[in-house]
A and B are shown apart, each in its own frame.
Chain A
Amino acid sequence: MQLNKFVTLLSISFFSLPISALECQWWQTKVKAHAVQKHQREGNTVSKHPRQEHCREKWKGADIYIKQFKNVPIEGWPHKETFKTWTGPEIETLLKVFASAPDWAGLSNYEFYRALKSDVVSNPARSEITYKSIILYDSFFSRNDKLTIIVHESAHHLYRSLGPAGINEFTNLSGWQLETNQKRQVFERPPERLIKPDSAISKEEDFANHLEEFYRSSNSYQKSNPTLYKFMNGRFK
């Protein structure tokens, strides 16, 4: 009789416990139902109200970025490189990096692909401009400057967003010059003073290096490249 009473009581107490049906994803955290106190938000007063139980992204933008990781090769890829699937820890690493990226990098516009090794020695990443993709190689994950690499790759995409007028302005300010060679072909002559040796590869690479420096060491960039700093600061802030 005593046992029956105990089981009944136990059942009642078990079923009366608030059981949450809400399932959150691994990149999210569960926030219990609670009362939101009266507070100020963007100049407005938010009155006290109850807040339902909900899932919240662990890292800024994670709910958006999580959809952008692709596990298929890029069709027509011109390099002899092997694409592979993302692992959970790799995605987590990136979500943490993306959370601190500047808004102007526009990371929500790109798709992220994973490949084994670049055919350029120790290259951590590459961009495919037309379909807005960023490809990350094994070596990326051993680098300490992951955010800088992501900003640099974004810059390759942002170059296109400058439009012809913006590109003409960058061309003038950076010292690039369009010329024709003996074979009557158009080529671009790099300026004598380059921000990085590989800037000579192309004007787009040079732009990516400039924007990377503008982001990484803004003050020293302003001192060494005052006109280009103004150009970058007017667009990327």
Chain B
Amino acid sequence: MMKFTFGLLFFISACTIPTATPKDKKYVQMYDLWKLNPSREDVLNAFGTTFEAKGDGVIYRPSQHKSSIDSGHFFGPTGLLEEQFILISKTDLENLKQQRPCPWREKSEMKSIGHSVQVIESGVCASIGISYEYFPSMLLYEVRWKK
């Protein structure tokens, strides 16, 4: 009976609290890790040691394109994650919104980028300190978590 109750509780909690698994995309892992207030060690354990140190943080570059950036993670004086970002496609952004619902406040604004002009989409989900903005030169979206 006790075994059954524990199993049931585990099942319910697994259904209601989304947690990332190694199979999840990196942006989902970052989303879930952010909520756990992780340390530098936790971040490096999750995303590997092939990083580049940058000031008070680390950046990861895509293995095929060393001139680009995949994600960045920055730590406060206590060594806890203070800010992180990832560059993802529109499809991945939509997946993230679907898999980890958040009350987004979104807008589109025509902006001058260098010598050209284009509509830049952005969004904020203040309750968990997450925002995104279109990064036109890479045709990607920068999703950023900040405390």
Contacts and interface: CB of A to CB of B under 8 A. Distances in A.
A79 B112 contact: yes
Contacts of B66: 172
B67 interface: yes
B68 interface: yes
A178 interface: yes
A129 B72 contact: no
Interface stretch (A36-44, A47-55, A161-169, A212-220): A161-169
A120 interface: yes
B interface: dominant SS: strand
A180 B131 CA distance: 17
B55 A204 contact: no
Given A168-B65, A171-B67, A129 B116 contact: yes
B59 interface: yes
Interface residues of A, number: 38
A172 B85 contact: no
Interface string B115-147: 111110000000000000001111110100000
B136 A129 contact: yes
A127 B138 contact: no
Given A186-B85, A202-B113, 7 more contacts: A74-B110, A156-B115, A164-B139, A171-B67, A172-B67, A203-B137, A208-B115
- The 7 A-B pairs of least Cβ separation, nearest first, read A202-B114, A129-B118, A130-B119, A76-B110, A201-B114, A178-B69, A128-B117
